[in-house]
Amino acid sequence: MDNTLNFIREKTRGFEPEIAVILGSGLGDYTKGLDGIEIPYGEIEGFMPSSVKGHKGSLFFGVIKNKKVVIMQGRFHFYEGYPMKSITFPVRVFKKLGVKDIIITNAAGALDLYHHPGELMLISDHINLTGTNPLIGKNDDDEGERFPDMSEVYSFQLRKIALEAARELNIDIKEGVYAATTGPSYETPAEVNMLKLMGADVVGMSTVPEAIVANWLKMRVLGISLISNYASGVFKNKLNHLEVIEAGKNASDKIKALLDLIIEKI
């Protein structure tokens, strides 16, 4: 951790971000045209290469709406074979750099016809179906408590700010429950029916590990899902990752405007 922090501080000349953003599949264009410092993951000790199409694989440090921000252009996934400690290592780094609030985005599949591809959804809660937890193992009491409360993983205050921003921009946005599975295979129709019975609204393969660790570190978390497709069985069509990438491109202007205004209001 110390080597990573020293390297980043040297590269960014002591830049101290207050807000972190994790960009999900197809959302990497958010930093396009912004001035800042970009560091490829391959240069940062403890950061893994991202093998997923639509994930650029670099850290961006810059100022957005007068706020100092660090942005992960792509994340690490459990299905890539990385352990949970590696997947959530960046969140711990962000906390050490001074980050207080983290915005975690993803692409997700809608489990019903109430949510539609192209729409955004604020995550109000999650269901962890990965079969593990990033806090398993020896606890670092200096970072967080052994048994952290999870009654409000996704900050009510940040969700209120996001809803206000969406209203000002005339962006239709709903709130709902995100179910996290391991992937990389998409869910079967039977699994989708099970998720609906459990109370989930959308399903994806990320976000929850980072959100758990951020909550453990006493950071405020805002989760935003871009609904990229309908999950298996909602319609008869088959799923592929290309539609996820395409959905991100189509919604890029809307997401950029919303993130900018949220960051300004935080």
Question: What are the backbone dihedrals phi and psi of residue 119, each rounded to the nearest 5 degrees, phi first?
Answer: -85, 165
User: Catalytic residue among 41, 55, 106, 247, which?
Assistant: 55
Q: Is 126 a catalytic residue?
A: no
Which residues, 6+ apart, have CB-to-CB distance to 6 below 8 Å?
Answer: none
Q: Is 191 a catalytic residue?
A: no
Q: Is 77 a catalytic residue?
A: yes
User: Catalytic residue among 48, 72, 84, 107, which?
Assistant: 107
Q: How far apart are CA 109 and CA 105, in angstroms?
A: 13
User: Catalytic residue among 50, 106, 155, 206, which?
Assistant: 206
Which residues, 6+ apart, have CB-to-CB distance to 245 below 8 Å?
Answer: 25, 26, 53, 54
Between strands 67-73 and 19-23, the pairing is: parallel
Which residues, 6+ apart, have CB-to-CB distance to 211 below 8 Å?
Answer: 104, 123, 126, 153, 154, 221, 223
Q: Is 107 a catalytic residue?
A: yes
Q: Is 205 a catalytic residue?
A: yes
Q: Is 229 a catalytic residue?
A: yes
**Residue 121 and residue 227 in contact, taking contact as beta carbons nearer than 8 Å:** yes
User: Catalytic residue among 80, 175, 243, 246, which?
Assistant: 80
User: Catalytic residue among 193, 241, 243, 257, which?
Assistant: 241
User: Catalytic residue among 166, 205, 211, 219, which?
Assistant: 205
Q: How far apart are CA 123 and CA 132, in angstroms?
A: 20
Q: Is 114 a catalytic residue?
A: no
User: Catalytic residue among 20, 48, 77, 165, which?
Assistant: 77
**Residue type for 240, please?**
N
Q: Is 155 a catalytic residue?
A: no
Q: How far apart are CA 224 and CA 120, in angstroms?
A: 7
> Could you give the residue numbers annotated as active site?
25, 55, 77, 79-80, 107, 205-206, 229, 241
